[in-house]
């Protein structure tokens, strides 16, 4: 990491959700999702939102004993060293041919709600048999709490966080815990 980069100046703060808490939550969350699927064909289309959701999605699907297809949606809302959503922008083609299928969008964090609302609108217009969203983290702020999300791993305070797939300027995704990040190196 370049010592002049924003990520090099950032300071990690307290752990909000530990790796142990995440590991303990995944089996129960997976059961909730499998129950939502209902009876019948267990075919499921999982749509992880890249790149933040890849670790959460991998942890979750290991506990889902159903037939599934995984297709990615790549969107950006926090480019580079931004700590505030800049709006949702697809970075490629979004999954298609979802009519009559069970679709679950998996994202890392729900804060402004823009990403989930954007994807819900795009995918529900394809008339899936069932549609739901799952997030690892939901901030306890009005925008997030008022955005429809069927499955939530953890509610957290309104802090900028990294780890378990969440990044700052491309760094910190590999941290096993979810931690507060102080972008300018201060602990205030």
pLDDT tens digit sequence for 28-79: 999 999 999 887 666 799 999 988 899 999 999 999 999 999 999 988 765 5
At 188 the pLDDT is 46
User: For residue 93, what are the contacts with CB-CB under 8 A and spacing of at least 6?
Assistant: none
List 59, 107, 108, 111, catalytic entry: 111
CA 71 to the chain's CA centroid: 15
At 93 the pLDDT is 74
Q: Is 111 one of the catalytic residues?
A: yes
pLDDT tens digit sequence for 1-33: 556 677 777 899 999 999 999 999 999 999 999
The burial class, CB within 10 Å (0-12 / 13-18 / 19+), for 23 is exposed
User: For residue 92, what are the contacts with CB-CB under 8 A and spacing of at least 6?
Assistant: 74
CA distance 73 to 92: 8
pLDDT tens digit sequence for 140-161: 999 999 999 999 999 999 999 9
Question: Could you give all domains of the chain from N- to C-terminal order, each with its CATH number?
Answer: 19-155 (3.40.50.2020)
């Amino acid at each position: 990491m370049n010592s002049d980069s924003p990520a090099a100046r950032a300071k990690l703060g307290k752990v909000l959700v530990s790796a142990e808490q995440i590991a303990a939550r995944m089996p129960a969350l997976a059961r909730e999702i499998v129950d939502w699927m209902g009876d019948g064909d267990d075919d499921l289309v999982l749509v992880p939102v890249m790149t933040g959701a890849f670790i959460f999605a991998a942890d979750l699907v290991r506990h889902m004993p159903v037939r599934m297809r995984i297709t990615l949606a790549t969107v950006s809302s926090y480019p580079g060293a931004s700590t505030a959503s800049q709006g949702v922008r697809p970075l490629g083609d979004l999954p298609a041919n979802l009519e009559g299928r069970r679709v679950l969008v998996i994202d890392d964090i729900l804060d402004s709600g823009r990403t989930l609302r954007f994807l819900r609108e795009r995918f529900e217009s394809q008339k899936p048999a069932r549609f739901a969203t799952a997030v690892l983290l939901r901030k306890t702020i009005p925008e997030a709490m008022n955005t429809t999300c069927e499955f939530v791993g953890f509610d957290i305070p309104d802090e900028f966080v990294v780890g378990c797939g969440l990044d700052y300027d491309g760094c910190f995704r590999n941290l096993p815990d979810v931690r507060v990040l102080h972008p300018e190196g201060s602990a205030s």
